[in-house]
Structure 1
């Protein structure tokens, strides 16, 4: 119990500090001091600052996975996933502009992939699309969403992601189902040949 509490405090203080300054300006000493622990205690839980960052992104990914609900659209699921970024814009921007940018990119790619794979599976119910095509469709949207979010971060996160995501949803409404039906049609025509 005390171990989980200490780890939670370390993560929370790290995020607070990351919201104040760039990642490369944060030291273990800064975090330990903010948590009122010694450096050995910090190292008992984490090998370095990057291990905290990795754990935070893994935790946030798990939250998205746990909160995914079959009644949610992919847009709603993605909006849930952006909650952490919106609450910690400066921290996300600092990670994006650091050597650990890849950690953020992987997190976004995994979140997008998880959301789109589940959504494509849900939409494909009753449609005999091939599993390869389902993966291809999910991957296409995964890549598009990841890149859009990265561009949003690079531009200073000025626009409201809720508005953008909902607009994309309206513009592309029905395209996933249509693509799945085309896959089923291609499968049927291949069987006839």
Structure 2
């Protein structure tokens, strides 16, 4: 129980610090002082700040998978899945603009992949589309969503993502189903 509390305290502390300070300026000493633990306690759980960040992103991805709702559209699912990033814009921006940019990229890519793979699988339930085509369609949308979200982060996250995602949904409505139907006609 105490271990879980301490780990959560460390996790929340770095997120809070990242919402105020660039990653390059955050030290283990500062995290420990803010948590009112000694540095050895931090090192008991994590070898460094980067391992802590990797765990945070992995936990968030697992939460997205757990909370996925088959009744939501891909747009709603993607918006729900990116809630952590939206709630912690400055932290994400600070990580993205650090040497650990790949953590953010992998997080966004995995979230987009999870959402699109599940959505394509759900849409194809009544369409005998080839499995390879289902995978190609999911990967295509995963790549597109990842790149759009990364551009949004890189440009300071000024646009309302819910409006952009909704607009994309309206513009491309029916394309996934149409692509899956075309799969049944191809050799």
Q: Shorter-chain TM-score category?
A: over 0.9
After superposition, what is the alpha-carbon deviation per residue over 1:9-66, rounded to whole angstroms, capped at 9, x for unaligned? 0000111111111111110000000000000000001110001100110111111111
After superposition, what is the alpha-carbon deviation per residue over 1:160-180, rounded to whole angstroms, capped at 9, x for unaligned? 101110110111010000000
- 1:41 paired to 2:41: yes
Structure 2 unmatched ranges of 5 or more: none
Partner of 1:151: 151
> Normalising by structure 2, what TM-score?
0.98
* Equivalent-residue separation in structure 2 for 1:118 and 1:81 (angstroms): 13
Aligned residues: 187
Structure 1 unmatched ranges of 5 or more: none
- After the TM superposition, list the runs of 4 or more consecutive aligned residues in structure 1 that deviate by more than 3 angstroms: none
* Equivalent-residue separation in structure 2 for 1:67 and 1:119 (angstroms): 14
Partner of 1:134: 134
Partner of 1:104: 104
* Equivalent-residue separation in structure 2 for 1:9 and 1:54 (angstroms): 16
Secondary structure, aligned partner of 1:71: coil
Provide the aligned C-alpha RMSD in A: 0.7
* Equivalent-residue separation in structure 2 for 1:156 and 1:126 (angstroms): 41
* Equivalent-residue separation in structure 2 for 1:49 and 1:93 (angstroms): 16
Partner of 2:84: 84
